Amino acid sequence: MSVGATPDRFQAADVDGAHHREDNYLLASSGLGSWLVTLDHKRIGVMYLIGIMASFFLGGIFALVLRAELFTGQKLFLSEDAYNQMFTLHGAVMTFLFIIPSIPAALGNFMLPIMLGQKDVAFPRMNLASFYLWIIGAVFFLCAIVFGGLDTGWTFYTPYSITTSTRVILALLGVFVLGFSSIFTGLNFVVTINTMRPHGMSWFKMPLFLWALYATSIIQLLATPVLGITGLLLIAERALRIGIFDPELGGDPVLFQHFFWFYSHPAVYIMILPAMGIVSELVAVFSRKHIFGYRFIAYSSIAIALLGFLVWGHHMFVSGQSQLAAVVFSGLTFSVSIPSAIKVFNWLSTMYKGSISLATPMCYALSFIFLFTIGGLTGLFLGALSTDIQLHDTYFVVAHFHYVMMGGTLVAFVGGLYYWWPKMFGVMYNENAGRLFCLIVFLGFNLTFFPQFIMGSRGMPRRYARYVEEFQIYHQLSTMGAFLLGIGMVGAIAVLIYSLYRGKKAPANPWGAATLEWMCSSPPSLHNFEEPPAVGDPYNYDNLRYDEREGGYVVVPGAAKKTSSH
């Protein structure tokens, strides 16, 4: 489809009755079959949402079992073997099945076409294929769990992964298939954004969430194939003993680490960039201020995506790689922190002189800024060479990446879910309950992970089933925090599910946002828009006024034309 074309279906729409029609995408057709073969990006997004939330639940249970086992430092109910499998599966499920696909595949799939004022993504069939590849990959993972487990750690380091008797090949096949799913999604998004922006939406009129998804997609396209190839090489090494990673056959185990981190470090930005995109939307909307420094935020997403490819070696400072390599990777690592810091400063400036609403999504956004700042700053200790040597592979690292990936990505994901929930399902959740569980998540999170910084810097290595007594107090605090966090997460999801049954009907635009997804009804109709929406500045809230009768925001008559002529 060419840029700016007006599809025929819009002209045929029944404009007058648009608001009252019950042809929303959820009701457009019924039966399980109509969902399984749907090409509608919204339904695919919802199916992804269900799948990744199930994965999150599974990974979360693993986490709580691990934390419970670590309460005393002695054996409670897990053998060493069971513990090793449990932390491996916690990491692998959370990384590959939950956090990498969470925002792009669930929220991105649902929102990206609507934010572009379009009916669907560029390749709807590829989108469905991507979802089924995800399912197949998840099934491989479940098979690996059921038939003998996996105990390599989610990193599959050689030569351990070549020698262990657990189900490495099944899990790697799962990773390989999941990689294809990720590539399909990324490709679809790149093409959609390149070719389907509506008339009037130049690159710099695009919502920042889409910039973030665009940057993410570039990483998915360029980095994921390396993971696929690495996985295949490792399978070949195990099955055929080709001698590329196994030192007994003349291979180099450190080579595997280079290959693995060449994907897996950029993957960290697949996780965090979309989260930053969500926070950019939330902070602007709930402050009712134009986002500050739009271009710097947009450029910094691209900068993070590109620089993220140059820093993988910082995972290998103590592997025995050359000192020159360590120094170069350390220097490059610091360069990534600048664009991240820029975003934080911009979000704060956006709030300046605003009208800040502490609705649940904004509470999650503020929580994100708090937690991501800790996560980012503790990265400095790990980027600096001499301090990294002390902290490498200790709980300090565990705490750091949980602050970034869970405190950052997960919190932003939940914030985004609350924000878009009325649009996705046409209902409003209970605001007080939402805020309460956000607070519990925040407190539980800090109680879980802050003590881990302390025990890590004091020498507690990661991936330990048992530990010496001096670390016990930190582990106990952490375990108590984990259960509080678990309560908060279950509560936060329960609030949303409850709203499906008892929630008030949502207006088209409950928050007063100016991006296009709020210009269609809640939930959207099958084709999203009855007529092409007017494209304006996505962060200009001047023409939106609260309407008592609607229960939401409406465009002030006569103002729409002014914005669209920008």
Partner 1 sequence: MNLLSTLSLLAEAGSLFFTPSNSVFAPEVDNLFDLIYWISAFFFVLIVAVMVYFVVMYRRRPGHSVQPSPSHNNVLEITWSVLPSFLLVLIFVMGFTGYMNIRTPPDDAYEIHVYAKKWSWLFQYPNGAESSDLHIPVGRPVRFILESEDVIHNMFVPAFRTKMDCVPGRYNEIWVLADHSTGTGIKDEDHEPTWLFCAEYCGRDHSNMKAKVFVHETGDFDAWVAKAANLYEGRTMAEVGELLYKRKGCISCHSIDGTRKSGPSFKGGFGTAHKMADGSEVVMDENYIRESIRDPRAKVVAGYEPVMPVFPSSRLSDKDITAISEFIKSLK
Q: Rule CB under 8 A: which of 118-157 touch partner 1?
A: 151, 153, 157
Using CB under 8 A as the binding rule, whether residue 337 contacts partner 1 is answered as yes
- The token pair at 163 is 């020698």
Using CB under 8 A as the binding rule, whether residue 167 contacts partner 1 is answered as no
Least separation in angstroms between residue 377's CB and partner 1 is 4
By three-state DSSP, how is residue 546 classified? Answer: strand
By three-state DSSP, how is residue 76 classified? Answer: coil
Q: How far apart are CA 448 and CA 483, in angstroms?
A: 9
Using CB under 8 A as the binding rule, whether residue 72 contacts partner 1 is answered as no
Burial label, 32 (beta-carbon count in 10 A; 0-12, 13-18, 19+): exposed
By three-state DSSP, how is residue 271 classified? Answer: helix
Of 531 and 542, CB closest to partner 1: 542
Least separation in angstroms between residue 403's CB and partner 1 is 12
Residues in the chain: 566
Using CB under 8 A as the binding rule, whether residue 430 contacts partner 1 is answered as no
Binding mask 346-375 for partner 1 (x = CB under 8 A): x-xx-xxxxxxxx-------x--xx--xx-
Of 29 and 72, CB closest to partner 1: 72
Binding mask 210-239 for partner 1 (x = CB under 8 A): ------------------------------
**Neighbouring-strand partners of residue 505:** 427
Using CB under 8 A as the binding rule, whether residue 29 contacts partner 1 is answered as no
Least separation in angstroms between residue 559's CB and partner 1 is 16
Alpha helices in 117-197 (DSSP H): 124-146, 160-163, 168-196
Q: Rule CB under 8 A: which of 238-297 touch partner 1?
A: 247-248, 251-254, 287-296
**Where are the extended beta strands (E) located within 462-535?**
504-505
Q: Rule CB under 8 A: which of 513-552 touch partner 1?
A: 539, 541
Using CB under 8 A as the binding rule, whether residue 478 contacts partner 1 is answered as no
Least separation in angstroms between residue 389's CB and partner 1 is 6
**Where are the extended beta strands (E) located within 249-339?**
none
- Is the Cβ–Cβ distance between 7 and 527 less than 8 Å? no
Looking at 132, 472, 491, 551, which residue binds partner 1 (CB under 8 A)? 472
Looking at 262, 464, 483, 498, which residue binds partner 1 (CB under 8 A)? 464
Q: Rounded to 5 degrees, what angle do the CA atoms 105, 106, 110 make?
A: 100
- Is the Cβ–Cβ distance between 431 and 442 less than 8 Å? no
Least separation in angstroms between residue 139's CB and partner 1 is 26
Least separation in angstroms between residue 59's CB and partner 1 is 18
Looking at 3, 232, 338, 500, which residue binds partner 1 (CB under 8 A)? 338
Please work out the total of residues on this chain that contact partner 1, with binding judged by CB under 8 A: 92
Question: Which residue do the tokens 């990498």 mark?
Answer: 100
Q: Which amino acid is at 50?
A: I
Using CB under 8 A as the binding rule, whether residue 491 contacts partner 1 is answered as no
Least separation in angstroms between residue 161's CB and partner 1 is 9
Least separation in angstroms between residue 72's CB and partner 1 is 11
Looking at 63, 66, 226, 326, which residue binds partner 1 (CB under 8 A)? 326
Of 397 and 485, CB closest to partner 1: 397
Least separation in angstroms between residue 203's CB and partner 1 is 16
Closest residue by Cα to residue 417 from 440, 394, 432, 434: 434
Least separation in angstroms between residue 420's CB and partner 1 is 20
Using CB under 8 A as the binding rule, whether residue 345 contacts partner 1 is answered as yes
Q: Give long-range contacts, CB 8 A cutoff, 24+ apart: 446-449.
A: 446/371, 446/481, 447/477, 447/478, 447/480, 447/481, 447/484, 447/485, 448/67, 448/402, 448/478, 448/481, 448/482, 448/484, 448/485, 449/398, 449/399, 449/402, 449/403, 449/406, 449/407, 449/478, 449/481
Using CB under 8 A as the binding rule, whether residue 77 contacts partner 1 is answered as no
- Is the Cβ–Cβ distance between 104 and 210 less than 8 Å? no
Q: How far apart are CA 479 and CA 66, in angstroms?
A: 9
Task: Return the CA Rg of the chain.
Answer: 24
Using CB under 8 A as the binding rule, whether residue 380 contacts partner 1 is answered as yes
- The token pair at 179 is 């990689």
Of 84 and 220, CB closest to partner 1: 84
Least separation in angstroms between residue 541's CB and partner 1 is 8
Looking at 68, 205, 221, 458, which residue binds partner 1 (CB under 8 A)? 458
Least separation in angstroms between residue 302's CB and partner 1 is 15
Of 451 and 532, CB closest to partner 1: 451
Alpha helices in 12-123 (DSSP H): 32-36, 41-69, 80-92, 100-101, 109-115
Q: Rounded to 5 degrees, what angle do the CA atoms 294, 269, 375 make?
A: 90
Which listed range, 131-139, 376-384, 399-407, 430-438, lies at the site for partner 1 (CB under 8 A)? 376-384
End-to-end CA distance of the chain: 24
Half-sphere exposure of residue 385, counting CA atoms within 13 Å on the CB side? 16
Of 14 and 469, CB closest to partner 1: 469
Least separation in angstroms between residue 455's CB and partner 1 is 10
Looking at 264, 360, 378, 563, which residue binds partner 1 (CB under 8 A)? 378
Using CB under 8 A as the binding rule, whether residue 71 contacts partner 1 is answered as no
